[in-house]
Structure 1
């Protein structure tokens, strides 16, 4: 055997293998290919990958720990929205200022609505944990400022700062749930979040009234400080393992400013119309016109910006459009009825304020519907059927209330319970469907936009129901319209047929829920993923135009 030839052949095979491996490595490298990363960008991406190493799948125990932290954060925001209502009269008497008392609520509404999309976008850019800590920190600072306020103006400023923090809590928490729980199972966790909202709705007014009456109104704000510190500690530790979606983005500051600015005039118009000023007055029409101009400027910015604040891919997503519209109409109807129905119980059934509040609980108790909706998403292929069946039941219940608004108290409470449970079916399905339909790195802005439009729709529906009630009663602003006591006195003077006045409010609710069912029907029912999408890899910035 010629060993020299065999050795030569072996050396040739080794050299060929080395060349093949080098060629394979070169093919895999993106550097040098058209549209690929430059060497500097490749180094930056590698550094980002090292800074954020891939995380393994989270265990159920870790998910539960994160979820409990999120529940505390959401409870903080939800309690704040209900605890203030019963303390307002005491605050007005303390500062001898009832004229500006409504701004205590309006300041929080304006700022929390305006910043919701911004928090969603920033959480996509800088991470969920960072933005939750920022939101909780600002909320705590606003609570302390409100509690220490020496006058009404400083209290309003503190409430505005509270809203800047509180407006980011819900969209970022929803985005965290999208990062750690698969869409198929996410509805169940969304339902548990609903329990937090219902609990705060029941506990908040009672706690606020007791603190304001027997201790001091400032305690309702001071109590937020330890809660915020506990929530921040939990989220700082537990959210370290959630997936990151680091992408090199440019924040469209002008677009963000236009979107936030456009909502403030319309919210003021909806808040003041029919209460502070007539609907056709110059101030209200001027605010509506200003909002329209700013909205047109925002639309222009969306079409001209290199990277719009609200991505066109999210706006044009059919699931996003239909799901957001359906959820906004359903939740707005729920909030509108929650405001009007206590008057209905007091007038039609001669109940006291406390009794009407207790009778309202079935309407506000949307938790059973949320739990059923979560189970439907877990086990049903056509999960959209659950909220659609629920909305049909709600429409039937409202149909009976339109037909006989003077029916017996027990029947009215049962029908209100059906409406509340049915509306509870809608929000988890629409929220999870939207999260399931958008890329992971856009979930934050999608959730911010969802909460933004839901707040606008709620303000609009409440204004419509209030305007209908005042119009039927013939109450005008100059005659004291817009004040709950004046409305109840005007309805009471209607005699035995006072309950029939609310027929038109129930008819409006019927119309809004019918529209919600219409848009839900046309929302695409995409298969829900059974796994969480992996975090998106770092990418280069979009090429310059």
Structure 2
């Protein structure tokens, strides 16, 4: 096999060249010549960390303020769309921002995403009714999609894969911190300031990000800007993702699964997806190049990313239900009780990144991580009304360690399996799969939880009718006012729902183990191959 200008034809060069131990001219050019010193990388990373935290924190920081927001603005029927509008817009925008970065350069595209996010944040803080808030949250989400994929793409372009893992470990550690810190910060802002500051707090932090990134990212390639944008693919991507998110958000709740609305949206999802795939295979500059999925490692890493998103958001989204209703924790304390999970995820993410950078070995991390997630979710499925907070904390450590191992390695493997020209689109596709896993995890596991809880109350016998009728509006405070017998019935129903959703979550995590087992150990570009992965005696790949 030969290269032309440093790119192999047919297969994805990083895997094929790395596996053969050949010398590809572009391998060095992908990582050398940008001229970033360690000091410049650290300064840039400080801005990128803030940007990632803004994108991840914002959705969680608003949750504690929602009751107050509804009380002030009204529009209870639009409450769910405050979160759904943000998630939907960010999911749709992620691959689009990634492709724009490939075409026009990372700096201008990333700074634009930050600007849109800050503009949306300011508008959200000034909202006068729920309709405005939902619309402005969608604007925020459009920018947030660019923040997440932009951060990973910039790191992928600045730093060679062999060194990249330790920096990406920091980014992956931001996710659990934001997921747990968001409700705590949001609750404090709502109680001591005003709910509008849950949005305004983004402005000074975002301004720091804008300044740091504009100054430090000047050495990144500018992009040609001459390629045609895949507008049809963008529209089709938006259509089928929107339809899918609506199916998972509305199905079994607002509409029955067999209702014409859900069936129609399901048909639209399938038709839009098929049309999207056809278009992506025919246009010159697809928004999500199908060629990146020809790499086995890229596709498998995407599967691991999907499972990690599914498990992470599913677990962290519903554990507070058990902690507050069954274990009697307050809303603030339920966030603090998630600290073992956060700490374990941070330690493993950072430690795993350093270990990969030192040894070059990474395959064991997604395998061990998905196995730990499966074990952790399986243990959560064994909980009952007598499970102590100490024992559930042990389960959280296992689950957090597994998530820390899965999240950062999936991105690293994906980026090591694609050409530099597809860094943004490939990173966007990988991030998109994680976001889709998160969205489906919340909606599907939520449907399992609420369905099992309702069935448990229905089968509880006489005396449970009053509890069942008020289950949809039950709060921990209201539960404490009920007779002890009624409290026990509801707590058992919550426990049944929690164990059911964690059982299915564990099944999905086992699938993640199977996916991770097929990942190949390919030497990371930018560093020497590990000792166990010495180059084979096959002829070297040379550039012509």
Structure 1 length as normaliser, TM-score?
0.82
Q: Which has the larger radius of gyration?
A: 1
1:76 equivalenced with 2:54 (yes/no): yes
Asked if residue 474 in structure 1 is aligned to residue 470 in structure 2, the reply is no
Q: Deviations over 1:473-492 (max 9, x none)?
A: 23699967766749x96985
Provide the C-alpha distance between the structure 2 equivalents of 1:153 and 1:505, rounded to a whole number of angstroms.
32
Q: Which residue of structure 2 aligns with residue 416 of structure 1?
A: 396
Q: Distance between the aligned counterparts of 1:232 and 1:494, measured in 2?
A: 49
Would you say 1:95 and 2:73 are equivalent positions? yes
Displacement after TM superposition at 1:390 (Å)? 3.1
**Equivalent residue in structure 2 for 1:385, among 364, 389, 403:** 364
Residue 434 (1) aligns with residue 419 (2) = no
Q: Indicate yes or no: 2:154 matched with 1:154.
A: no
Query: Alpha-carbon deviation of 1:376?
Result: 2.9
CA 1:117–1:397 in 2, change beyond 3 Å: closer, same or farther? closer
Q: Partner of 2:14 in structure 1?
A: none
Q: Are the structure 2 counterparts of residues 499 and 75 from structure 1 closer, same or farther at C-alpha, using a change threshold of 3 Å?
A: closer
Higher alpha-carbon deviation: 69-78 or 326-335: 69-78
Q: Hey, what does 1:523 align to over in structure 2?
A: 519
Q: Shift of residue 280 of structure 1? A: 2.3
How many angstroms apart in 2 are the aligned matches of 1:266 and 1:186?
Answer: 34
Alignment of 1:372 onto 2:378: no
- Measured after TM superposition, the shift of residue 430 of structure 1 is 1.2
Match of 2:239 among 253, 258, 261: 261
**Structure 1 counterpart of 2:338:** 360
Which residue does 2:171 correspond to in 1? 193
- Deviations for 1:312-369, whole angstroms, at most 9, x for unmatched residues? 2112221221101111112211110111111122344333333322222223442122
Provide the rounded CA distance (Å) in 1 between the counterparts of 2:132 and 2:215. Answer: 34
Aligned pair in 2 of structure 1 residues 228, 393: CA closer, same or farther (>3 Å)? Answer: closer
Q: 1:61 to 1:495 in 2, by over 3 A?
A: closer
* Structure 1 unaligned residues grouped into runs of 5+: 1-29, 31-53, 533-545
5 Å-filtered alignment, 1:130-141, equals 130-141=108-119
Match of 1:294 in 2: 272
Deviation at 1:495, TM superposition (A): 6.2
**CA distance in structure 2 between the partners assigned to 1:359 and 1:80 by the alignment:** 20
Counterparts of 1:495 and 1:59, CA distance in 2: 56
* Compared CA separation, residues 175 and 424, structure 1 to 2 (3 A): same
RMSD: 2.7
Aligned to 2:155: 177
CA distance in 2: counterparts of 1:240 and 1:182, whole angstroms: 18
Offset at 1:524? 2.4
Distance change (3 Å), C-alpha of 1:99 and 1:501 = closer
State which of 417, 422, 445 in structure 2 corresponds to 1:465.
445
Instruction: Report the 3-state secondary structure (helix = DSSP H, G, I; strand = E; otherwise coil) of the residue aligned with 1:236.
Output: helix
Looking at structure 2, the residues matched to 155 and 408 of structure 1 have their Cα atoms a distance apart, in angstroms, of 40
Of 296, 315, 327, which residue of structure 1 is paired with 2:293?
Answer: 315
State the alpha-carbon separation in 2 of the partners of residues 482 and 454 from structure 1. Answer: 30
Unpaired runs of 5+ residues, structure 2, are: 6-31, 459-467, 480-485, 529-544
- Is residue 206 of structure 1 aligned with residue 184 of structure 2? yes
* Partners of 2:155 and 2:223 in 1: CA distance: 14
Contact (CA 8 Å) 1:347, 1:499: kept in 2 or not?
no
* 1:528, distance to aligned residue in structure 2 (A): 0.7
Q: Which has the higher contact order (CA 8 A, sep 6+)?
A: 2
CA separation in 2, counterparts of 1:291 and 1:496? 37
> Are residues 1:334 and 2:338 paired?
no
Does residue 434 of structure 2 align to residue 446 of structure 1? no
Q: Deviations over 1:490-524 (max 9, x none)?
A: 98525668634432222111111111111111122
Aligned 8 A contact 2:321 2:494 in 1:
no
Which residue is 1:231 aligned to? Answer: 209
What is the alpha-carbon distance in structure 1 between the residues aligned to residue 107 and residue 47 of structure 2? Answer: 11
Q: TM-score, normalised by structure 2?
A: 0.82
- Counterpart contact for 1:491–1:501, Cα < 8 Å: no
Shift of 1:254: 0.6
Per the alignment, do residues 403 and 300 of structure 1 end up closer, same or farther by CA in structure 2, a change over 3 Å counting? same
